[in-house]
Structure 1
Amino acid sequence: MIDLQQLRDEPEAFKASQRARGANVDLVDDILTADSARRAAITEFEDARAQQKAFGKRVAQEKDKDAKAQLVSQAKELSDRVKALQADADEADYTFTSLASKLPNLIIDGVPAGGEEDSVELRREGTPRDFSADGFEPKDHLELGESLRAIDTQRGAKVSGARFHYLTGFGARLELALLSLAMDTAQRAGFTPVITPTLVKPDIMAGTGFLGEHADEIYRLEADDLFLVGTSEVALAGYHKDEIIDLSDGPIRFAGWSSCYRREAGSYGKDTRGIIRVHQFQKVEMFSYVHVDDAQEEHARMLSLQEEMLGKCELPYRVLDIAAGDLGDSAARKFDCEAWVPTQGTYRELTSTSNCTTFQARRLSIRERGEDGTRPVATLNGTMANTRWLVAILENHQQADGSVRVPEALQPYLGGMTAYGPEGPRYS
């Protein structure tokens, strides 16, 4: 939910944000009109209710029987009017709330306008490997994974359908090593490890902004009225719902480890090979509650931790400032890190980090105490590692003999394993 007072004071800023997103600019005026109608309806109802209370006292004080009967009749008419005005106020409030819930977060100054193709590359780190210098043609991650008995998509499809997979042997160990490294890196940076629920109530899912235009990406269990999360951000945002939290000692930081589920609606025919775009995956996600004034600094901090992880995995990558039209409803700014995938000859997204300002906290009623009462906090989130990272790790670190070199930072999590090949693990 947006800051209503800011919307009233700065409607042109919200219209500019909508234009940058490629979204409906008229929605801003529609919300303001509905807000005026709602306030007028509430005022009329409250005035009538005040009159009703005053009239009730008059009825109670009347001693004359005939006069009192007449007053009782008038009181009933007034009661009927109050009920009608309350219904009008409720309807006006519903109309306003329905419209306001459709307005995405106000973007931060400097965010590129436009859609996905308009995102701005900020920098590149590392040099993509020249496999011709090593004398062999790289295999894609699925061919490697199958040859190493690490990835099995055929049995995943047999058991669960398209876009499901098994990770076995080295594949399973590598994912656990990666996520453990991510969790350790996050914890050293002050994030508390959390194993989160993967099923949440509708109000939690709506509060984080995921039931907007991308609601078709979410799995819903209709019999139980619960949703499967696509990221532990949802459960972590809901952790402090309806609470006043204490940020006097600094941000509250969580690192959530969970299974994640996405329907991948609209992706028919895209990335059907391997495990780049799947329905179920594992992820470690950073989540922070901070003072509003500290949100941009926390955002930069999260990005630096993501880049630290990419460096530890020895992956060439680039950083993008994501365009407004590709932010999603809740983000005011988002940075993506994309790693080089040799067989595709391009960079593919491995991490995102979003500054959601007060958008989620307002929806979930998460506040802190200030000098003038309570105020919403800012929330931020960012990927530390997920299953898709295996694609880049396998492809970038493959060797001519069909083995895969283990990045040095991951070796302690694999018992000192330095490489894994068709014949098994290597420890030297």
Structure 2
Amino acid sequence: MRASQRARGEDVALVDALLSADERRRSSGVRFDELRAEQKQLGKQIPKATGDEKAGLLKRAEQLKADVKAADAERDAADAETQELLLRLGNLVHPDVPVGGEEDFVTLETHGTIRDFGAEGFEPKDHLELGQLLGAIDVERGAKVSGSRFYFLTGVGALLELALVNAAIAQATAAGFTPMLTPALVRPQSMAGTGFLGQAAQDVYHLDKDDLYLVGTSEVPLAAYHMDEIIDADRLPLRYAGFSPCFRREAGSHGKDTRGIFRVHQFDKVEMFSYVAPEDSQAEHQRLLEWEKQWLTSLELPFRVIDVASADLGSSAARKFDCEAWIPTQGKYRELTSTSDCTEFQSRRLSIRVRDGKQVKPLATLNGTLCAVPRTIVAILENHQQADGSVRVPEVLRPYLGGREVLEPVSR
């Protein structure tokens, strides 16, 4: 765990503080049990005693009462400190994860062909210019109504979102996922249990009056769906595909992606979530990645798969793969989907267990973005644009757009 913390760039001393607190919790628990046992034994002796012996026993009983109370308080304090430190500790990093920061990822594979717009005889427009030509994106009125990083999807923009969501849910359902519409507001234990009140807390919206949190992903309610439950092993794997609005402060992104809808405060997303036996988590992780690759391939987007470096994992993930689509006007790959193996980290915090015969133990949870709508729209508009400002519709989306093959400009 020390090595894991070091790889994450987190405080290694936290491990030693946790061990120390846990030792105090254990020793104070033993002390409390010993004093309570003596107290009970004394309670049996006092009625039988007389004279000076009884007076001595009563005096000892008074002292024991105070000692038991103090030991109980010490045990509770040590337990509370242990739990608080546990919640600050990230998941154990998988040994195959590349060590380092955001730029230290390893590229595992690339897919598709990057278009040469120069050879086609025109300069590509960015997604915002295309969105305005198509009457699909309105960020000016989004800012007027709600502030920066908000937007309206209008006309074919709104239809394109609905087409993406329906196509993504159709793929997930065909793969055996149960479609879910999830709450956008959750209680603190749900947010903390999934690991989003640690290093990610700065990006979370909190409603003080109600003590509820706006979710940044449907991973949170899907993880908490089976909170405090024991699931029979023969029901696994459980797979859910959640559709929900997502809310993020983007507190650490000042000055980044300020143009258009790539990085926004509110967006919709289709998220895959799996509950599996711990020994099956790595195989399930690969399955989630394959479903993401299938989705991006169906959208005819060029993309690469990266093995995310240790300091960029997020506290709940033991390992994470990102699929990054090529964005022509930025000249680089940008994250579109992500899948994380959270092993037993979330299930232990949320008290979700599996019953396998007579054994009851924590299970593993995994998540994978299938379609984060705004970023997917960005990639589709830029990669499938044509010289006249129109955008070719990928075949997989056409049935959900009334058979439309091209999105045509409404203004020039």
Interval containing the TM-score (normalised by the shorter chain): over 0.9
The counterpart of 2:314, out of the listed 328, 336, 348, is: 328
When the two chains are superposed, the root-mean-square deviation of aligned CA atoms in Å is: 1.3
Query: Is 2:167 aligned against 1:181?
Result: yes
TM-score relative to the length of structure 2: 0.97
1:258–1:284 CA contact under 8 A, matched in 2: yes
Deviation digits for residues 177-230 of structure 1 (CA, Å, limit 9, x no counterpart): 011111110111110000000000000000000100120100000000000000
Query: Is 2:354 aligned against 1:368?
Result: yes
Displacement of 1:135 in angstroms is 1.3
Matches for 1:77-226 after TM superposition, within 5 Å: 77-226=63-212
Secondary structure, counterpart of 2:259 in structure 1: coil
Partner of 2:396: 409
Distance in 1 between the 2:176 and 2:112 partners? 27
Query: Is 2:382 aligned against 1:395?
Result: yes
Distance in 1 between the 2:189 and 2:123 partners? 50
Deviation digits for residues 82-123 of structure 1 (CA, Å, limit 9, x no counterpart): 000111111111222222221110011210001111011111
Distance in 2 between the 1:233 and 1:266 partners? 21
Partner of 1:33: 20
Query: Is 2:405 aligned against 1:418?
Result: yes
Partner of 1:339: 325
Distance in 1 between the 2:49 and 2:270 partners? 74
Displacement of 1:232 in angstroms is 0.1
Deviation digits for residues 1-32 of structure 1 (CA, Å, limit 9, x no counterpart): xxxxxxxxxxxxx1221222122222222211
Distance in 2 between the 1:293 and 1:119 partners? 25
Distance in 2 between the 1:247 and 1:94 partners? 32
Partner of 1:311: 297
Distance in 2 between the 1:372 and 1:334 partners? 33
Distance in 1 between the 2:388 and 2:239 partners? 43
Secondary structure, counterpart of 1:118 in structure 2: coil
Consecutive unaligned residues of structure 2, counting only runs of 5 or more, are none
Partner of 1:22: 9
Distance in 2 between the 1:308 and 1:373 partners? 37
TM-score relative to the length of structure 1: 0.93
Distance in 1 between the 2:358 and 2:95 partners? 27
Which stretches of structure 1, 4 residues or more, deviate above 2 A after TM superposition? 61-74, 370-373
Secondary structure, counterpart of 1:351 in structure 2: strand
Partner of 1:10: none
Distance in 1 between the 2:41 and 2:177 partners? 57
Aligned-pair identity (%): 60
Distance in 1 between the 2:49 and 2:39 partners? 19
Instruction: Give, as a single letter, the amino acid of the residue that structure 2 aligns with 1:111.
Output: V
Matched positions, count: 410
1:244–1:367 CA contact under 8 A, matched in 2: yes
Distance in 1 between the 2:358 and 2:3 partners? 30
Query: Is 2:33 aligned against 1:46?
Result: yes
Instruction: Give, as a single letter, the amino acid of the residue that structure 1 aligns with 2:198.
Output: G
Query: Cα distance 1:88–1:250, how it changes in 2: closer, same or farther (>3 A)?
Result: closer
Distance in 2 between the 1:370 and 1:35 partners? 29
The counterpart of 2:270, out of the listed 262, 284, 289, is: 284
Partner of 1:270: 256
Secondary structure, counterpart of 1:83 in structure 2: helix
2:135–2:410 CA contact under 8 A, matched in 1: no
Distance in 1 between the 2:277 and 2:188 partners? 27
